């Protein structure tokens, strides 16, 4: 166990002595030593307070967050060595030493692993939280924690965001968000997300601290530029940002022409051309497969060039007989001679 040392000096009254310590975390164990001076002699008594139960059965990963100024959620995880039938219970203690059990538990397979509180009126600057447990199988160690409530509060977005523009700049103003307890402006920081409608790239976020008077001067880039702004809040000491506000529009009502439309047209044109070429190519391949080319007869005597049959036949018929010599046969008629007597 972790040992805590608390020192207090008391005077004996009516033969009785008691001591009250402020709230502190005790789940790690504590050692109390009582020393008494009697007739120049010192007597000492040592008291050891330990966390009863099996090691590793206490709730772990305990955390709480306050939101919307009036609500709080706490959560924890089951101990690594905790038995299956373990059940946890959360208690809060106010400054007046009044203990209250969690009114609304969050469960996981029947085991309490969280708590939702809707009434924080009994809590002040610090809150003492105790999670103990029960089991039929073994003893369950407790877990306790002392939390500074302003450090666990998650702030809402600023209220009443307004924008007023002139020819040179736009003045963005907002109001401090509502919190559980009043806070000064110095305890806040804000993050502004200002984006131009026609801008292809996101603009960097702007951090403004509360001492600026909850205002920011934004240079106006042009009369036709339309913008949106949204703001979120955090504690000035730690950047635990809350939720973004709803975006507020300012600038011209007509969106400024930009290269975005040109890029879109180019992309669409490229897609249309690609689809057209793809369809034509598929149609050509299909036609080629259905009607393959007819093979032609090759002329082996003329460099394998096609032979024009009609021209060769005409040439052959015209030239036939020019070089051939005709043979003429003369036939004479001979009359038969008379017979001699």
Q: Please report whether residue 18 resides in a domain.
A: yes
| Per-position DSSP letters for 249-301, written without gaps between them | EEE-SSPPP-HHHHHHHHHHHHHHHHHHHHHHHHHHHHHHHHSPPPPPPP-TT
Q: Which of the listed residues 236, 251, 266 is the one where a domain comes to its end?
A: 251
Q: Which of the listed residues 151, 180, 211 is the one where a domain comes to its end?
A: 151
Q: Please report whether residue 296 resides in a domain.
A: no
Q: Which of the listed residues 181, 216, 251 is the one where a domain comes to its end?
A: 251
Q: Are residues 88 and 139 in the same domain?
A: yes
Is the pTM higher than 0.85? The answer reads no
Q: Are residues 27 and 83 in the same domain?
A: no
Which distant-in-sequence residues (6+ apart) come within 8 Å of 172 by Cβ?
A: 161, 162, 163, 192, 194, 215, 216, 217, 218, 229
- How many angstroms separate the CA atoms of 130 and 238, rounded? 26
Q: Please report whether residue 302 resides in a domain.
A: no
At 223 the pLDDT is 54
Q: Which of 236, 182, 184, 238 is nearest to 209 (CA)?
A: 236
Beta bridge partners of 144: 130
At 33 the pLDDT is 84
At 161 the pLDDT is 95
Q: Domain with 120 in it: what CATH number?
A: 2.60.40.10
- Give the pLDDT of the chain (341 residues) as one tens digit per residue: 344 455 555 666 667 777 777 778 888 888 888 888 888 888 888 888 889 899 999 999 999 999 998 999 999 999 999 999 999 999 998 777 788 999 999 999 999 999 999 988 878 888 899 999 999 999 999 999 999 998 899 999 998 999 998 888 899 999 999 998 888 999 999 999 999 887 777 889 999 999 989 999 988 765 567 889 999 999 998 888 999 999 999 877 554 444 455 557 777 778 877 787 777 777 666 665 655 565 555 555 555 445 444 444 444 444 445 445 555 555 555 555 554 43
Instruction: Give the number of domains in the chain.
Output: 3
Q: Please report whether residue 309 resides in a domain.
A: no
Domain extent, residue 122, equals 60-151
Q: Please report whether residue 265 resides in a domain.
A: no
């Amino acid at each position: 166990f972790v040992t805590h040392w608390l020192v207090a000096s008391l005077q004996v009254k009516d033969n009785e002595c008691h001591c009250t310590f402020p709230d502190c975390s005790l789940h790690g164990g504590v050692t109390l030593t009582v020393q008494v001076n009697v007739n120049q002699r010192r007597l000492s008594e040592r008291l050891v307070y330990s966390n009863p139960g099996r090691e590793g059965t206490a709730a772990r990963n305990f955390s709480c967050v306050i939101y919307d100024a009036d609500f709080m959620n706490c959560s924890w995880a089951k101990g690594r060595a905790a038995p299956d039938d373990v059940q946890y219970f959360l208690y809060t203690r106010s400054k007046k030493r009044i203990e209250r059990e969690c009114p609304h538990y969050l469960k996981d397979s029947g085991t309490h692993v969280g708590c939702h509180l809707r009434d924080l009126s009994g809590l002040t600057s610090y809150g003492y939280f105790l999670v103990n447990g029960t089991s039929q199988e073994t003893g369950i160690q407790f877990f306790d924690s002392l939390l500074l409530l302003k450090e666990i509060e998650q702030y809402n977005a600023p209220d009443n965001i307004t924008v007023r523009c002139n020819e040179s700049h736009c003045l963005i103003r907002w109001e401090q968000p509502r919190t559980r307890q009043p806070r000064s402006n110095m305890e806040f920081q804000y993050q502004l997300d200002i984006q131009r409608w026609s801008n292809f790239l996101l603009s960097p976020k702007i951090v403004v601290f509360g001492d600026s008077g909850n205002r920011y001067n934004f240079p106006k880039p042009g009369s036709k530029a339309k913008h949106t702004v949204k703001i979120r809040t955090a504690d000035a000491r730690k950047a635990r940002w809350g939720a973004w506000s709803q975006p507020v529009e300012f600038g011209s009502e007509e969106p400024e022409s930009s290269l975005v439309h040109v890029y879109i047209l180019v992309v669409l044109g490229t897609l249309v051309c690609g689809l057209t070429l793809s369809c034509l190519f598929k149609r050509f391949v299909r036609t080629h497969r259905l009607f393959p080319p007819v093979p032609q007869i090759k002329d082996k005597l003329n460099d394998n060039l096609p032979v024009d049959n009609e021209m060769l036949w005409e040439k052959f018929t015209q030239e036939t007989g020019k070089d051939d010599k005709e043979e003429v046969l003369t036939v004479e008629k001979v009359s038969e001679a008379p017979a001699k007597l």
